Amino acid sequence: MSVDPTPASTPEIRFREVFDQAPISMQLVAADGRTLQVNKAWEAMWQGSLGDALKEYVLHGGYNLLSDPQLEAKGVTPYLRRAFAGEAVNVPAILYDPAEMGIIARPRWVTSRAQPIKDAQGRVAEVMLMHEDITDRVEADDSLRLSEQRFRSLVTASSQIVWNSDSEGLIIDDSPSWRLFTGQTYEQWKGVGWLDAIHPDDRQRAASIWTSAIANKAVYQTEYRIMHADGDYRWTSVRAVPLYHGDGSIREWIGTNTDITEQRRAEEALRNNEQRLRFMFDSMQQKIFTATPDGKVDYFNPAWIQFSGLSPESIRDWGWTQMIHPDDIDESIRVWTRSLEHGEAFQVEQRCRRADGQYRWHLSRAVPMRDEAGRLAMWIGSNTDIHEVKIVESELARRLQAERRHSAVLAKVAAASNQLHTAVSVDDIARDLVGIVRDILGVHQAVISLNAGDNWAQSINAVSMSDKYARYAGYTAPPDGTGIYATVCRTNKAMRMTQDELERHPDWKGFGAHRGQHPPMRGWLAVPLKAHDGANIGLLQASDKEDGEFTEEDEAILTQLASLAATGFENARLYDTLQEQHRRKDEFLAMLAHELRNPLAPIRAAADLLSIANLGEDRIRQTSAVISRQVQHMSSLVDDLLDISRVTRGLVELAGADLDIKRVVADAVEQVRPLVEARLHELTVTSSAEPAHVRGDHKRLVQIVANILNNAAKYTQRGGRIVVRTETTGSDVVISVEDNGAGVPPELQPYVFDLFSQAERSADRAQGGLGIGLALVKSLVGLHGGQVTCHSDGPGTGSRFTVTLPRLASDAAASVQDGRKLPVQPTHRLRILVVDDNVDAARMLAMYLEAAGHEVMVEHKALAGLQRALRDKPAVCILDIGLPDMDGNELARALRRHPDMAGALLVAATGYGSERDRENALAAGFDHHLVKPVNSSVLSGLLAATRAR
């Protein structure tokens, strides 16, 4: 490769070939610095496959070696000049970059030797440059230095202890990390001094393993405790590896100690937790298992072993599959495998074989347990025996279908409830009910029968039969209170039987004389009808079911219908009772109007008569007597009403005294004798010879006997017979009143002592009453601790009323005080103030008092009365209570507050006659409390007593 195209001589050709094929890079430079030739090694070093750009520039581009700026900047040019001066020179290595000349080529690290070539005269003709490419070596050295720097930085930054030793295991180099951790100095640590920092219990083992690793040129790996600088021993994990020379001998050992104290503590805690968990699992009845992350079962608790009868070894890993039912195994493995692949919870229902060979359904579950880094650590699973649950689920599915079938039945029951609640009579309810029973239960026969007495006899209230039993439609014979019907009513419990069970039941009596007429039975279902208090009121039964035998559900439905019906029956009977009471109320009001009008008629006539002038004194006296009698009669009616009110509300207080009942009867006979004589009755009174004493209230006992006698007189035809008997037993005194009068119908006897209850009256209605006398008798007898009964064989047969009272052992005669009316006594003239808003009442009372010789003042309002009293200072004030502007009690208080009226006699004359009214009046300052119409004799007696003061 020459720039001279002239053919060369043979030696020159040989030179060129040697130059060109030389293995080292060579560059021939003229004495003026121009490059004359480069060989192929030079081209390969600088160009390779990049082409001839650099070669072309160096050979023909005006390049001069001595003026190359890059060589000059890197200090090479002085070395070249020395070579051009005739000195062989070694040029130091530089990084030459062709890019600085604008040529794309890889920078190279190059070291050169410049050898001058001299001519014959000793002048330098050329300089031969021989280049060595050291790029790879320089880069390797740089990489090594960088690795060393990185290693030292890593050691400094690492929390691990890093150390090295020679090939024999002796510590030579310092380890700052060891000194920092242990507190040893370099002098203490070097050689084998590091063993002094090892825990005494670990020291021999650590040294022995280290010696063995050195001898076998094997990795040194162990764990031991090192004393920390704070005096505590800490666990470290130790690992050391040998570094080798090129000949395979060990150059040195590099080792690390990693503090694993917390890890060891965590592992210890984990072991303790695992032990506790294992103990807990072992003691549980639940079947528990654990598995490795890859799904191999590594633990079954004893409950599993007990259940399966297999050994733990035989069911570990995947051996558990032998317990799974063949029909379930594929699905179990598929679900388990999927859970393992995705790390998801496992759940499947499968049958597991028990030790006795029986397969039982289990719910198998497993959940993945992960460590703090989220890595799967293990699986924990349980197997819950759900065999009974699965059976129940199967049964529930079967029942669901049945429930759907029964929904229509429930709808019918609801409709039946509405239907029964709208019926208002017993017959309507019974008739509707048997039809409903047949429809809902699907039976050919339904019968309802209600109790008709105390011996479980019954009446057939309603029957419903299909066409199958049409020829028995006329059968009506009621049960007689014996047999299996009565058993249901007596026990108040349902009975459900097949026909065979029915006929074998000890209480089954067949149909007796009615065998030919009674519909045949085909199985039997009967439930009792119960009142709200649980008492039996009858029987609801069904027979001959269209499909199969009666079921528990049929019994429940019939029981529900019976409950609805029983409520309906009670409501219907209550409705009837309310209707009857309403009727009695209307009759009572009509009778009250009649009884009040009767005395008003003669009173009105007497008043009209008195208005006629020039009546004689006899005629006036007769008229006054009529008015007095009729007023007395009206007062008696009002007293009866007040009496029954006080008794029924428990406001009557009885005086307790030892009484001879014979005297009581005599007084009662004396009271009713006028009525008995007026009706021409024969009255006979008989009594036993033995003393008959009771403890009670004389007035009320007389009232009891008088009311019964009065009742007998009214309801016995004129000229009848009445017998009063007084008898004694060991503990009782018995008074009976028997007559041959109208009698009491059987249906009325249970209600004869009820309020407003009356039988048909006799033609003479003037002696009628309000229908409260016997009710008052019953209440008063009860207050005396006795009882009263009524007996009659029916209409026209007379009746007998019997009063039974507790007998006293004492034979002492009872002391009874007569309540005799005080005769009207002549009085001295008194100044009397009458205050009453009823003008007529006030005027009539004033006229009576004036006729008796008194000075009378009349006011119709309370304030006017108060002013009149304070002005005129009357000795007596007769005040009404119900005054419009101020009630009489308040007026009495106002009068008592004035000293001038402190000694006046205050008399309340009012229509308010209760005991509380009397107490309120006396508390307000009244001296006496009289109930209108005021008894003139009583009033006269009070006035006479006042004058006497």
Name which of 439, 421, 457 is nearest 572 in CA terms: 421
Q: Are residues 455 and 333 in the same domain?
A: no
pLDDT, greater one: 875 or 299: 875
- Residue 300 CA to residue 641 CA, distance in Å, equals 92
765-770 contacts: CB < 8 A, separation 24 or more? 765/594, 766/598, 767/675, 767/678, 767/679, 767/713, 767/714, 768/591, 768/594, 768/595, 768/714, 769/591, 769/595, 769/637, 769/640, 769/710, 769/714, 770/588, 770/591, 770/592, 770/595, 770/637, 770/640, 770/641
- Residue 238 CA to residue 209 CA, distance in Å, equals 11
* 291-326 residues labelled b (16+ CB within 10 A) or e (exposed): beeebebebbbebbbebbebebeebbeebbeebbee
Q: What is the rounded average pLDDT of the residues 879-883?
A: 90
Is the predicted pLDDT of residue 412 greater than 80, yes or no? no
Which of 38-47, 572-581, 852-861 is the most confident on average? 852-861
| Residue corresponding to tokens 């009378």 | 856
Read off the DSSP letter of residue 317: B
Question: What pLDDT, on a 0 to 100 scale, did the predictor assign at position 330?
Answer: 93
Single-letter amino acid, residue 594: H
Phi and psi of 220, rounded to 5°? Answer: -95, 120
Residue 62: left if φ>0, alpha if ψ -120 to 50, beta else—which one? left
Question: What pLDDT, on a 0 to 100 scale, did the predictor assign at position 819?
Answer: 33
CA atoms within 13 Å, Cβ hemisphere of 392:
4
In a domain, 477, yes or no: yes
In a domain, 597, yes or no: no
Question: What pLDDT, on a 0 to 100 scale, did the predictor assign at position 246?
Answer: 83
Tell how strand 233-244 and strand 250-259 pair up: antiparallel
- Residue 319 CA to residue 184 CA, distance in Å, equals 56
Chain centroid to Cα 675, Å, comes to 71
* 847-878 residues labelled b (16+ CB within 10 A) or e (exposed): eebeebebebbbbbbbeebbebbeeeebbbbb
- Residue 659 CA to residue 719 CA, distance in Å, equals 33
35 - beta bridge partners?
29
- Residue 609 CA to residue 15 CA, distance in Å, equals 193
**Helix/strand/coil (H/E/C) assignment for every residue in 689-739:** CCCCEEEECHHHHHHHHHHHHHHHHHCCCCCCEEEEEEEECCCEEEEEEEE
Q: Are residues 208 and 320 in the same domain?
A: no
Q: How many domains does the chain have?
A: 6
In a domain, 89, yes or no: yes
Question: What pLDDT, on a 0 to 100 scale, did the predictor assign at position 608?
Answer: 67
Last residue of a domain, one of 232, 259, 286: 259
Write the DSSP assignment of 35-80 as a string of letters. Answer: EEEE-HHHHHHHTGGG-SHHHHHHHHS--BGGG-HHHHHTT-HHHH
**Helix/strand/coil (H/E/C) assignment for every residue in 433-453:** HHHHHHHHHCEEEEEEEEECC
Question: What pLDDT, on a 0 to 100 scale, did the predictor assign at position 524?
Answer: 84
Question: What pLDDT, on a 0 to 100 scale, did the predictor assign at position 346?
Answer: 92
Question: 598: which residues sit within 8 A by CB, 6+ positions away?
Answer: 633, 766
Q: Are residues 690 and 783 in the same domain?
A: yes
pLDDT, greater one: 507 or 360: 360
- Summarize pLDDT for 799-846 with one digit per residue, the tens: 999 999 999 875 444 333 333 333 334 447 899 999 998 887 788 788
In residues, how long is the chain? 949
Phi and psi of 311, rounded to 5°? Answer: -80, 155
- Residue 406 CA to residue 441 CA, distance in Å, equals 11
Is the predicted pLDDT of residue 602 greater than 50, yes or no? yes
- Summarize pLDDT for 689-701 with one digit per residue, the tens: 888 899 998 888 9
Q: Are residues 333 and 374 in the same domain?
A: yes
Tell how strand 346-353 and strand 458-465 pair up: unpaired
Q: Are residues 328 and 448 in the same domain?
A: no
Q: What is the CATH number of the domain that holds 655?
A: 3.30.565.10
> Mean pLDDT for the chain?
82
Write the DSSP assignment of 265-303 as a string of letters. Answer: HHHHHHHHHHHHHHHHHHH-SSEEEEE-TTS-EEEE-HH
- Summarize pLDDT for 647-656 with one digit per residue, the tens: 666 666 777 8
Residue pair 901/889 in contact by the 8 Å Cβ criterion: no
Specify the range with the lowest mean pLDDT, choosing from 55-59, 438-442, 760-764.
760-764
| Helices 552-610 & 387-422 angle (0-180, nearest 10) | 30
In a domain, 499, yes or no: yes
Tell how strand 524-530 and strand 220-227 pair up: unpaired
- Residue 187 CA to residue 402 CA, distance in Å, equals 95
Q: Are residues 569 and 641 in the same domain?
A: no
Is the predicted pLDDT of residue 511 greater than 50, yes or no? yes
- Residue 107 CA to residue 109 CA, distance in Å, equals 7
Write the DSSP assignment of 764-807 as a string of letters. Answer: -GGG---S-HHHHHHHHHHHTT-EEEEE-SSTTS-EEEEEEEEP
Q: Are residues 89 and 51 in the same domain?
A: yes
The reported pTM is 0.37
Is the predicted pLDDT of residue 587 greater than 70, yes or no? no
Q: What is the CATH number of the domain that holds 853?
A: 3.40.50.2300
For residue 478, CA distances in Å to 116, 124, 508 come to 158, 163, 16
- Residue 689 CA to residue 557 CA, distance in Å, equals 66
In a domain, 844, yes or no: yes
Q: Are residues 276 and 252 in the same domain?
A: no
Q: What is the rounded average pLDDT of the residues 78-93?
A: 92
Q: Are residues 535 and 669 in the same domain?
A: no
Q: Are residues 783 and 648 in the same domain?
A: yes
Residue 302: left if φ>0, alpha if ψ -120 to 50, beta else—which one? alpha
Question: What pLDDT, on a 0 to 100 scale, did the predictor assign at position 862?
Answer: 92
In a domain, 148, yes or no: no
Single-letter amino acid, residue 521: M
In a domain, 818, yes or no: no
- Residue 859 CA to residue 836 CA, distance in Å, equals 7
Question: 787: which residues sit within 8 A by CB, 6+ positions away?
Answer: 781, 803, 804
Read off the DSSP letter of residue 20: H
Last residue of a domain, one of 139, 166, 183: 139
Structure tokens given for 885: 């502007």
Task: State whether residue 401 is helix, strand or coil.
Answer: helix
Q: Are residues 98 and 244 in the same domain?
A: no
- Residue 28 CA to residue 13 CA, distance in Å, equals 16
- Compute and round to an integer the Cα radius of gyration of the chain: 68
Residue pair 325/318 in contact by the 8 Å Cβ criterion: no
* 169-205 residues labelled b (16+ CB within 10 A) or e (exposed): bebeeebebbbebbebeeeebbeeebeebbeeebeee
- Summarize pLDDT for 276-295 with one digit per residue, the tens: 666 666 665 678 888 999 88
Q: What is the CATH number of the domain that holds 42?
A: 3.30.450.20
In a domain, 2, yes or no: no
Last residue of a domain, one of 259, 279, 295: 259
Domain of 315, in residue numbers: 265-385
Q: Are residues 437 and 504 in the same domain?
A: yes
